[in-house]
Structure 1
Amino acid sequence: MDPRISIVTLGVADLAAATAFYEDGLGLPRHEFDGDIAFFALAGTWLALYPREALAADAGVGPDGSGFAGVTLAHNVDDEERVDAVLAEAERAGATIVKPAARADWGGYSGYFADPDGHLWEVAHAPGFSPGP
């Protein structure tokens, strides 16, 4: 298997609202595509939004998950000021700040927000770690 992730798909309760959060609120570039799915081009991968119940049905599992799912998404940036700026941008777009940015025990600076469907995003500056591959 090649070492890559091609698409990260998030199951969402309201596709239109989630699409607006990521496109209008966070400014992610949306790829035009017909159907009940939204695609956003990211550096090196795609982010997709799909109705939660339909995604669960596609995978053959129940849609009733709640609480922490054991997964977070991470967005690394070049400096601490950018961590604060991205968290503020997410909050203005409708995200909930779950953990305000602070010095981390691993030597960096990070905080977390939850998108409108509760998906957790870490925004971090990790000295010596490049934001992208």
Structure 2
Amino acid sequence: MALEPRITLVTLGVADVAASTAFYRKLGFRRSSASNDSVTFFHMNGTVLGLFGHEALAADAGLDAGPAPSFRGVSLAHNLGSRDEVDAAWTFAVECGAKPVKKPEEVFWGGYSGYFADPDGHLWELAHNPFAQLDENGHMTLPD
């Protein structure tokens, strides 16, 4: 058996579910009624973003939580249709309380991107990739 290549849910371990929920709602994310005090789910146009306590998420995986590192080796990306859209989204995220990590700029691979971090340090990249088109739903399309 092979796994179908898809991601249905990304869960972020957070220090304070309520505070992180408020941050993502400021960004405009729509909270699901399936959420409760322990976990929040956001509709994400084909996937779901979950917020769960850092220690609870580690325990669910059978791991010791330990302190959250400053760099987790992963980023979440939101691709946009133009450089101007990247600039506007980055400014908006910072106005909503995101920590500015890297102001949008031209990058080595030929695109344009910047990074911000949520209240728990999870990295988000905002990017315009001129080599990958976005479909009508905002999904990135790649050549075969």
Kindly report which structure 2 residues correspond to 1:65-80, keeping only aligned pairs within 5 A, or say none.
65-80=68-83
Per-residue CA deviation, residues 10-32 of structure 1 (Å, 9 max, x unaligned), is: 00001111000001x20011111
TM-score of the pair, normalised by structure 1: 0.95
Per-residue CA deviation, residues 22-79 of structure 1 (Å, 9 max, x unaligned), is: 01x2001111125311000111100000011100100111111312111111000000
Q: Which residue of 1 aligns with 2:120?
A: 117
Preserved contact between residue 35 and residue 41 of structure 2 (Cα < 8 Å): no
Structure 2 Cα separation of the partners of residues 62 and 86 of structure 1: 35
Structure 2 Cα separation of the partners of residues 109 and 126 of structure 1: 7
Instruction: Read off the aligned partner of 1:128 and give its amino acid letter.
Output: F
In structure 1, runs of 5+ residues without a counterpart are none
Instruction: Read off the aligned partner of 2:125 and give its amino acid letter.
Output: E
Matched, 1:8 2:25: no
Structure 2 Cα separation of the partners of residues 15 and 85 of structure 1: 27
Kindly report which structure 2 residues correspond to 1:1-133, keeping only aligned pairs within 5 A, or say none.
1-23=3-25, 25-35=26-36, 36-64=38-66, 65-131=68-134, 132-133=139-140
**Amino-acid identity (%):** 52
Q: Which runs of 4+ in 1 moved over 2 A?
A: none
In structure 2, runs of 5+ residues without a counterpart are none
Per-residue CA deviation, residues 77-119 of structure 1 (Å, 9 max, x unaligned), is: 0000110111111101111110000001100000000000000
TM-score of the pair, normalised by structure 2: 0.88
- The higher radius of gyration belongs to 2
Aligned residue pairs: how many? 132
